[in-house]
Amino acid sequence: MTIPSLTPMRRVGSGWISTYVIAGFGMQIALQSPSTFVMPQQIADIDPTGKVGGYAWVSVMGAVAGLVAGPLFGALSDRTGSRFGRRRPWIVGGALTCAAAFLFLAVQQSVVGVAIGALLLSIAMSVLGAGYNTIVPDQVPVAQRGLVLGWAAVPQAAGLISGGLLLALASGPSKGYLLMAAVLVLVIPFVAVTTDQQLPEEQRLPFSLKTFLAGYRIDPRRHPDYAWALATRFLMGLGYGIGTLYIPYFLQDVVGHPDDLLIVVAINGTSVVALAVVSGWLSDRIGRRRILVCVGSAIMAAAAIMLALSPTWTMTIVTAVVLGVGYGIYIGVDGALITQVLPAASDQGRDLAIAGLMGSLPYVIVPAVASLIISNLGGYSGLYLASALISLLGAVLIWRIKSVP
């Protein structure tokens, strides 16, 4: 049995887009902020001498859970026949389970407890993502996806800054987790205003573990454009991660501005936000996405080369802007491009989740790669040159995609 084309033709309105972006802020703040601001403090309070190893272990627990949970819940959402629709039950259920995970984390007094909480939170975020991330190809026509996903990139880029500002109001990890749970109410307006049609019974494919596991094996011969899009996304995440992860140590060890990290992050994030929406809108207007991905990749590479050749405070500020511009152009188009190369309408949730893994997996390997480069291959200059080369490779590979202009 095959599912007929479910590609939407009717454009979504400004109200739909606005509430979708607001829901994205709730999701991204809750996703990004705890691991950056709350968990490190909580682990340091529990075990001051072993905090580095403890935090690494907690981070791995959360990352490993997402490898399975994301595609699994995405595949299940594809087959959901609820009278409330395919995606809305997962958005609501994910928000509620995320809130429960935050409540669990708020009362933990051991590193093991925090690790279990991180595992539960990662699973809960996968439930939420199974509904939120997949609803765009369900409801937004191809010619409008650049604009919609460009706006959706705003909370992705600004979520960490927004979360940091919010958490400044909380004193201690417990209150921070409670605040993160409260932020999830931002998904409610979107769930309330969007219509999510019930999937007819005759169009519901049965879940097969064999088929699900086969989804992890990407066949470049059958779906070459999907494979090249995943490869490009992985490389772009790796290049951007290598170029940004060690900025705190770069500021401390090279340019002598250890207390100015927030300035750099804010400048970079503002540049990303400013270009993401424009890039997505422009890709819809000109009907071309690959050229914008290529331009964004090239600008990111230029920023990394500039910093490698001139590792100064002034150049750090300049490259924060340039890197943000390049990444903003890329991220504003990449999501729309991915939705156009998915192998099958029947498994959009699973395939989008796997595409999401290609954006997050680089950050699992970046610490090891970056440490090796800094120690043995030219220090921070070598690190940023490596970032440039990887980004340029992404710019080249995007042209292997043939079905998207």
Q: DSSP letters of 40-101? A: HHHHHHH-STTHHHHHHHHHHHHHHHHHHHHHHHHHHHHT---TT-SSHHHHHHHHHHHHHH
CA dist., res. 248 & res. 198, Å (int): 48
What's the CATH number for 224-400? 1.20.1250.20
Q: Which helix (H) or strand (E) holds 383?
A: helix 379-397
Write the DSSP symbol of residue 312: S
Q: Give the phi and the psi of residue 125 in degrees, each rounded to 5.
A: -65, -30
Q: What is the pTM of this model?
A: 0.82
Q: Is the dihedral of CA 107, 112, 114, 118 positive or negative?
A: negative
Looking up tokens 């093991």, which residue turns up? 112
pLDDT of residue 284: 96
The tokens describing 131, both together, are 């509904």
pLDDT of residue 385: 97
pLDDT of residue 79: 87
Query: Do 14-192 and 224-400 share a fold?
Result: yes
CA dist., res. 318 & res. 233, Å (int): 25
Angle CA 153–280–33, to nearest 5? 5
Q: Which residues contact 21 (CB under 8 A, 6 or more apart)?
A: 151, 152, 154, 155
Cβ(75)–Cβ(204) below 8 Å:
no
Per-residue pLDDT of the chain (405 residues; tens, 9 = 90+): 334 345 788 899 999 999 999 999 999 999 988 987 899 889 989 998 888 678 778 877 777 777 788 888 988 988 888 888 889 999 999 999 999 999 999 999 999 999 999 999 999 999 999 999 999 999 999 999 999 999 999 998 889 889 988 998 888 999 999 999 999 999 999 999 998 877 766 666 677 666 666 666 777 888 999 999 999 999 999 999 888 877 877 888 899 998 887 788 889 989 998 999 999 999 999 999 999 999 999 999 999 999 999 999 999 999 999 999 999 999 999 999 999 999 877 788 888 888 888 888 887 787 778 878 888 999 999 999 999 999 999 999 999 999 999
Instruction: Report the candidate in 285, 301, 10, 268 with the shortest Cα–Cα distance to residue 161.
Output: 268
14-192 to CATH, choices 1.20.1250.20, 2.170.140.10, 1.20.1090.10, 2.40.160.40: 1.20.1250.20
Cβ(235)–Cβ(390) below 8 Å:
yes
Q: Where are the domains of the chain?
A: 14-192, 224-400
Calculate the dihedral angle through the C-alpha atoms of 181, 159, 350, 357, rounding to the nearest 10 degrees.
Answer: -120
Cβ(20)–Cβ(27) below 8 Å:
no
CA 1 to chain centre: 33
pLDDT of residue 22: 97
CA dist., res. 136 & res. 349, Å (int): 11
